[in-house]
């Protein structure tokens, strides 16, 4: 550990700048400008150089860029579809779930729409959460509750909760789609204003 710190300091900006300034002090010594106090001059110049050097800046963490995150979500969405294909669902819930997954598939389809989604961190997070958490949790909770309901009939049908959950997720996805569409519409309007202003000059 101590050796690593020593090597780190030797390679640091402070040491390199201080050494360069100290070397200038040595040159002054050989030219006779430093006089008998040359050790103080060399040490002082080294210290001044070390103090003036910019501080070390640790490298920021290397997080994946939005396009890489989108690709990961796209892969997880494929696994989600495989999972849903193996689950037996009531017709109404299955229909609503198909509408939701169709909307998510359209957002994740490679192309300019996915690029718009990748540029929206909140939107990408919402889609990721739906794919990786909300939809699997809703379906799995339905499957588990359905088994218990068979043992104790007369309870509230679990498909009712599933249908409501999927409907809420669909509404959330539609709000996201509307927001992305509005952003593109504002971009178009902004370009129109820019062209109008340019033509008036």
Q: What is the DSSP string of 154-187?
A: TSPPHHHHHHHHHHHHHHHHHHHHHHHHHHHHHH
Mean pLDDT across 111-126 = 89
Task: Look at residues 156, 162, 153, 172 and name the one whose alpha carbon lies nearest to residue 88.
Answer: 162
Do the Cβ atoms of 22 and 51 come closer than 8 Å?
no
pTM: 0.65
Mean pLDDT across 41-58 = 68
Do the Cβ atoms of 163 and 96 come closer than 8 Å?
yes
Give the CA distances from residue 192 to residues 116, 131, 196, 199, in Å, rounded to whole numbers and listed in that order.
20, 37, 6, 11
pLDDT at residue 60 in the model: 73
pLDDT at residue 100 in the model: 95
Helix runs in the chain, H state only: 2-10, 13-31, 38-52, 66-85, 91-108, 112-118, 121-129, 135-151, 158-199
Highest mean pLDDT among 52-61, 116-125, 148-157, 161-170: 161-170
**Where residue 124 falls among pLDDT bands split at 50, 70, 90?**
very high
In whole angstroms, what is the distance from residue 129 CA to residue 135 CA? Answer: 9
């Amino acid at each position: 550990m101590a050796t690593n710190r020593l090597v780190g300091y030797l390679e640091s900006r402070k040491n390199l700048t201080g050494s360069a300034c100290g070397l200038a002090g040595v040159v002054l010594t050989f030219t006779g400008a430093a006089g008998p106090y040359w050790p103080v001059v060399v040490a002082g110049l080294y210290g001044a150089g070390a103090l003036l050097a910019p501080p070390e800046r640790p490298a920021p963490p290397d997080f994946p860029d939005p396009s890489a995150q989108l690709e990961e979500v796209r892969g997880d969405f494929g696994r989600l579809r495989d999972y849903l294909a193996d689950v037996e669902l009531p017709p109404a819930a299955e229909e609503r779930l198909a509408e939701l997954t169709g909307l998510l598939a359209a957002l994740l389809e490679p192309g300019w729409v996915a690029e718009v989604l990748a540029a929206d961190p909140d939107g990408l997070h919402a889609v990721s959460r739906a794919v990786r958490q909300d939809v699997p949790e809703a379906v799995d909770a339905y499957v588990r509750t359905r088994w218990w309901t068979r043992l104790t009939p007369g309870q509230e049908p679990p498909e009712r909760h599933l249908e409501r959950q999927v409907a809420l997720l669909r509404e959330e996805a539609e709000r996201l789609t509307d927001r992305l569409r509005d952003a593109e519409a504002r971009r178009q309007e902004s370009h129109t204003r820019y062209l109008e202003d340019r033509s008036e000059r």
